[in-house]
Amino acid sequence: MPSKPTVPTRTDLLEIFDRLVQRNGRRNWWPTTFDNDDSGETGNGGFEIVAGAILVQNTTWKNAERALRNMHEAGIWGYLAVYEAPESALIETIRSSGYYNTKTKKLRAFASVIVKEYGGRDANLFGLDLVDLRGRLLEIYGIGEETADDIILYAAKKPSFVIDAYTRRLVDRLGWHVDGNRYSDYQRIFDGLLEPDVELWGELHAQLDGHAARVCRKRDPYCGDCVLLDICPTGRRNTR
């Protein structure tokens, strides 16, 4: 019989965070490779993070990273460059990320907003308060809740906890009670229990994703090697 869902506490979340960090070390997300300094005329402080958050949709980070590198090498780097680049050229540079026609439209839509509405500087958009920023991001073509929160947390450096398939999987396997199945229902578990802390939230999300990808896999999870085994009813059932 499945275990009765439990209601997690702040202590539970911090215990999981500590265990994962001790096992894996800090992941220091979001990974960036190229210069995206916010000084000077371009003002592309979060361009690499924004572009990566769009390119990684429905693919692996490896494929998204390859597309970012191609963009950088092709000189299509920064909001103005994306805005001005021929659509065909952008499509070719991001082909490795998959869904490249749609993602080209998404990149161009975001770049258009920055160039036309915010003077070419993402800092002007990121300067909005959290509620207004999230609302504006969700109005941009191709930006859903997960991508919006990636941008808010890692590029704008504001606390908005990111929920993805990995996080949902861990919450469900830990047997935690969730009031519904919407994105916001899962998000409420984290932002309702943890004090707003960009560094903590960013690292916790990274740790959960890494653990779900390597250990708590969708198929054939490595429950016997999981540092959360003693508090995970799914893991205990799988190792009987």
Q: 108 and 124: one domain?
A: yes
Percent of the chain with pLDDT over 70: 95
In 3D space, the residue among 73, 69, 74, 78 whose CA is nearest the CA of residue 46 turns out to be 78
Picking from 106, 129, 155, the residue at the C-terminal end of a domain is 155
Express each pLDDT in 174-228 by its tens digit.
999 999 999 999 999 999 999 999 999 999 999 999 999 999 999 999 999 999 9
Picking from 124, 155, 186, the residue at the C-terminal end of a domain is 155
> What integer pLDDT is reported at residue 34 of this predicted model?
86
Domain that holds residue 180: 10-28+161-238
Q: Average pLDDT for residues 46-71, to the nearest whole number?
A: 96
The backbone torsions φ and ψ at residue 186, rounded to the nearest 5 degrees and listed phi first, read: -70, -40
Q: 54 and 144: one domain?
A: yes
Express each pLDDT in 78-113 by its tens digit.
999 999 999 999 999 999 999 999 999 999 999 999
Q: Distance between CA atoms of 147 and 54, rounded to whole angstroms?
A: 7
pTM for the model: 0.94
Picking from 98, 123, 155, the residue at the C-terminal end of a domain is 155
| Domain containing residue 135: CATH number | 1.10.340.30
Q: Average pLDDT for residues 21-45, to the nearest whole number?
A: 74
Q: 169 and 88: one domain?
A: no
The structural domain count of the chain equals 2
Average model confidence (pLDDT) across the chain: 94
Q: 21 and 86: one domain?
A: no
Q: 109 and 167: one domain?
A: no
Task: Pick 34 or 65 by higher pLDDT.
Answer: 65
- Asked whether residue 76 is assigned to any structural domain, the reply reads yes
- Asked whether residue 4 is assigned to any structural domain, the reply reads no
| Torsion on CA atoms 90, 120, 43, 54, rounded to nearest 10 | -40
> What integer pLDDT is reported at residue 40 of this predicted model?
35
Q: 146 and 59: one domain?
A: yes
